[in-house]
Amino acid sequence: MSDATTTDLYEVTMALSYLREGLTRSATFSLYVRDVPADRGFLVAAGLEPVLDYLSRYRVDADDVDVLAAALDRPPKDAEPLLGLVFTGDVRAVPEGRVVLAGEPLLEVTAPLPQAQLVESYVLNQVNHQTTVASKCARCTLAAAGHPVVDFSLRRTHGTEAAHQAARLGAMAGFAGTSNVAAAHAEGLPAVGTMAHSYIEAFGTEEAAFRAFARAHPGPVTYLVDTYDTERGVLTAARVMKDLGLGPGCAIRLDSGDLGALAVSSRRILDAAGLHEVRIVASGGLDEFAVDRLVRSGAPIDTYAVGTKIGVSADAPYLDSAYKLVEYDGRPVMKLSSAKVTAPGRKQVFRLPGYADVIGLIDEAPPPGGEPLLETVMRHGRRTRTGTRRSRLDDARGRFADDLAALPAGARGITSPVAPEAVLSQPLTELAARVRHRIETEMPAAGAR
């Protein structure tokens, strides 16, 4: 069984019907986010890399046919029209790391209709989840105002694959490292970590634990100081560091309590011991809102470790994203459902200064000063670009840094941000009016028999 079975059942029922009816010509589906969640001023495009991996290896084999037939409660021969189906289409997308707005296509898939339909669920899953988490990570980077942020989310994410993605997305958004060893190795990231409270509790005293840790790890150490009494823990850590000559590169970690006040008292203790270069790391249920408050208060915290609330994007754990048919066999189509109207036709997004973005048609000339965001990243089922996963992550990190620097101040806010809004071009607006008129003209009048 392959990833081809990672789909919703209705994708299979539709694909089989398309094949039976001969609806196999080229179709374009557009993936976009309807609205930016509350307390978000922007989104960060992510999830494209695993989507391209999935599409490039997509193939329905005999085992898949058996699985699909069983799901349909029908004999295998009924699902055999899908046997051997591979993805042969094109993908145009906003590269990972770019800042995007509501309503803008993050990607468009153009392929024979059954193919484009069958991949919908997987594509939405990857882009939805990873754009959600990347956007949360980006806000942490903003809130930290230049202080390093590291990922501690492995133990709280919804599965280990999600944890790996969170580590990668944090790096894309400017994080300095991750506690996840496997992700650090795979993505070429710094691995970071300290110790747990259980380590301290396993020894008779904090001092015994601190000295034992230094014997096992002769380089710079980070001591967790809040297992019992935080200020006493800092005093003990300072004494051990002085005795062992462990100043530069070392740190203490605060994981509970009033982090701002404890950082102030800890800094005072460390400085009084002459340990001016020992850093303070803060963790414990932090998100961008807490980090922002601590930074604004002037708390002497050097590094922020974020985990639970970031890895699951706790305050906004999903996006209202959609993957909608916009063209079939050269015919623009649109949905007219209340509150869910779609725009017809293949599209392009033009980035203008100040994020005055314009959503237009694929063949439109860019407005003056406009930069097209969607690029062809797959043609005939094959990636158009080569490069290692690490180099692609580096590229995404650079795109994010550039886009974040250009983002309007109102959109960068942690509380009450103002999200820029993209507008439709005149040609797209006119096309939508024509398609709507055609649909309404062709529809039978309400109540007609």
pLDDT tier at 338, thresholds 50, 70, 90: confident
In angstroms, the CA 312 to CA 136 distance is 9
pLDDT in tens, 350-404: 999 999 999 999 999 999 999 999 999 999 999 998 778 888 999 999 999 999 9
Say how many C-beta atoms besides its own lie within 10 A of residue 270's C-beta.
25
Return the CATH number of the domain spanning residue range 143-311.
3.20.20.70
pLDDT in tens, 285-304: 999 999 999 999 999 999 99
In angstroms, the CA 29 to CA 313 distance is 27
Tokens of 438: 């055609």
For residue 253, give Cα distances in angstroms to 221, 237, 436. Answer: 10, 10, 60
- Cβ-based neighbours of 321, under 8 Å, separated by 6 or more: 31, 32, 33, 34, 124, 127, 128, 131
pLDDT in tens, 214-266: 999 988 999 999 999 999 999 999 999 999 999 789 999 999 999 999 999 99
Find out whether 352 and 360 touch, Cβ atoms under 8 Å. Answer: no
The backbone torsions φ and ψ at residue 224, rounded to the nearest 5 degrees and listed phi first, read -80, 120
pLDDT of residue 219: 83
Q: Parse the chain into domains and list their residue ranges.
A: 3-133+322-442, 143-311
In angstroms, the CA 130 to CA 108 distance is 17
Mean pLDDT, residues 23-45 taken together: 96
Is residue 141 scored above 70 in pLDDT? yes
Tokens of 446: 């309400």
Return the CATH number of the domain spanning residue range 3-133+322-442.
3.20.140.10
Tokens of 250: 């070392």
pLDDT in tens, 263-290: 999 999 999 999 999 999 999 999 999 9
